[in-house]
Amino acid sequence: MHRDPAPPTLDLSLLRGFAFRCQPECGLCCFTSPAVAPGERQRLLQIDPEAPVSVVKGGDATSHIASREGGGACYFLSEARCRCHPARPFPCRAFPLHVALNHRAQASVVLSCPGVDLGRLEEWRTDDGPEESPVGLEEELEAVRGELRSPDVAPRSGTTADAWGRSMRRALRSSRLSDPADLIARIVRHPPRPSDDDFPPAPLPDAQDPLELLPMYQERGVGIVAVRSQGSGCEALELQEGGGGGRSLGVFSVLDHPPSMEGSAIELLEGYLAYVVRRDHFLSSALWTWKQLKGEGFQEVVEQRLRELGAQLLARANLRAMLRGLVSSPMSAETVELGIRAVDMDELDRPSLGQLL
């Protein structure tokens, strides 16, 4: 008798220690074009028959809600409020959870979200990380579990798991490792902090790139801010909900060396990198990079990726501090947190050998 494949196992270990409370006036998660499954499209059109949810991307049956041109927010956002909230699609219902499909389904937290408390993040520097169960993510987890029961998820996950497993085994052999857990343990115990060679970090997109593709974050008292290269510096732009371009907040110098840091700032940076390396999505993205580099050991690729991420984090932390007029030396943990908020969504957007739920 034929049986449908079971949904993939859901790993929730990376939710420990986090608390979430949505900030209603934020809107960061709405400056995007969320995917809309076929069954969700009709509910959205009942709310607004003119809604632009028919753009098919990638040649499949999934549509996306169009965002407004010129760096604007989702069509359904109005005065920082969602007009389709009861019928919002899965990516919106699950945020700030990010779910990667590799050899399993693994949920992690999008740390750019201002509603996520980062107070326990440095505890990921230990072998086990925090022990406490997450708080405030019950509805988001319910949405994830429901999506995992969709009939197309199990076959898609199975195909991805096979390809991911083969690539991971080859990659681990290049560093004489037998299991991803061994690699993670090595990194957690000896986190690769950025050095002089990692500065200045890789340049940001420039003025030729559409505003909606720029890295962005939520800035207190300003709103949604995007950043891009401008000459030898970096420009911060205030994005508008209705689109039409961003207002320049100034051009700032790019950090070109590792800053001196308070002890608590170093612990927070190391905690973030130790959290990131535990993400299946990060390892899958590192696999993508490793496959492009012939002859490199996988551990070396992972360590270099983490150093580059750390350099970007510190550079954007410094940018945000300059924008606020709060640059200090040594760099504080509060400033490092600004950098984490400004880089984590970009890190989760990197290409990988896996899939997203």
pLDDT of 60 reads: 55
pLDDT of 1 reads: 46
Location of structure tokens 């007009």: 83
- Rounded to whole angstroms, the Cα distance separating 146 from 309 reads 33
Contact status, residue 83 vs residue 226, Cβ threshold 8 Å? no
Name the token pair of 356. 């997203």
Q: Kindly give the parts of the chain with pLDDT less than 70.
A: 1-5, 55-61
pLDDT of 154 reads: 78
- Rounded to whole angstroms, the Cα distance separating 352 from 288 reads 5
pLDDT of 327 reads: 84
pLDDT of 176 reads: 93
Count Cα neighbours of 5 within 13 Å in the Cβ-side half-sphere: 14
pLDDT of 57 reads: 52
pLDDT of 268 reads: 97
- Rounded to whole angstroms, the Cα distance separating 208 from 229 reads 10
140: exposed, middle or buried (C-beta count within 10 Å: 0-12, 13-18, 19+)? buried
**What's the predicted TM-score (pTM) here?**
0.94
pLDDT of 80 reads: 84
